[in-house]
Amino acid sequence: MADKQALNIVKMKKMKADGIPLTMITAYDYPSARLAEEAGIDIILVGDSLGNVVLGYDTTLPVTLDDMVYHTRSVVRGAHNTFIVADMPFMTYHGSIDESLRGVRRLMQEGRAHAVKVEGGVEICETVKQIVSAGVPVLGHIGLTPQSVNTIGGYRIQGKDPADAQRLMDEAKALEAAGAFAVVLELVTEEVAEAISRAISIPTIGIGAGRYTDGQVLVYHDVLRYASPYREKRFVKTYADIGTQIREGITQYVQEVKQRAFPDESHIFKADETVLESLYGTASKGAK
Ligand SMILES: Nc1nc(=O)c2c([nH]1)NC[C@@H]1CN(c3ccc(C(=O)N[C@@H](CCC(=O)O)C(=O)O)cc3)CN21
Ligand SMILES: CC(C)C(=O)C(=O)O
Side chain identity, residue 179: G
Residue 273 placed within a domain: yes
Atom number, ligand 1, closest to the C-alpha of residue 231: 1
Tell me: do 69 and 131 sit in the same domain.
yes
pLDDT at 232: 80
pLDDT at 236: 96
Q: How many domains does the chain have?
A: 2
Residue 1 placed within a domain: no
Q: Ligand 1: residues whose CB is within 6 Å?
A: 49, 52-53, 60, 144, 146, 155-157, 187, 219, 221-222, 228, 230, 233-235
Tell me: do 164 and 273 sit in the same domain.
no
Residue 49 placed within a domain: yes
**Tens-digit pLDDT profile for residues 256-286:** 999 999 999 999 999 998 999 999 986 554 4
pLDDT at 288: 45
Q: Which domain holds residue 228?
A: 9-240
Tell me: do 224 and 260 sit in the same domain.
no
**Tens-digit pLDDT profile for residues 90-123:** 999 999 999 999 999 999 999 999 999 999 999 9
Closest residue to atom 32 of ligand 1, CA basis: 146
Side chain identity, residue 199: A
To test the pocket of ligand 1, the residue of 50, 58, 187, 205 to mutate (highest count of ligand atoms within 8 Å of its CB) is 187
Four-CA torsion 226, 156, 138, 203, nearest 10 degrees: 90
**Tens-digit pLDDT profile for residues 11-20:** 999 999 999 9
Please list the ranges in the chain whose pLDDT falls under 50. Answer: 1-2, 285-288
* Whether residue 186 lies in the annotated active site: yes
The DSSP line for 206-235 is: EESS-S-SSEEEE-HHHHTTSS-TTTTSTT
Tell whether pTM > 0.90: yes
Residue 2 placed within a domain: no
pLDDT at 287: 46
| Closest ligand (CA of 86) | 2
Tell me: do 261 and 278 sit in the same domain.
yes
φ, ψ at 245 (rounded to 5°):
-60, -40
Tell me: do 198 and 268 sit in the same domain.
no
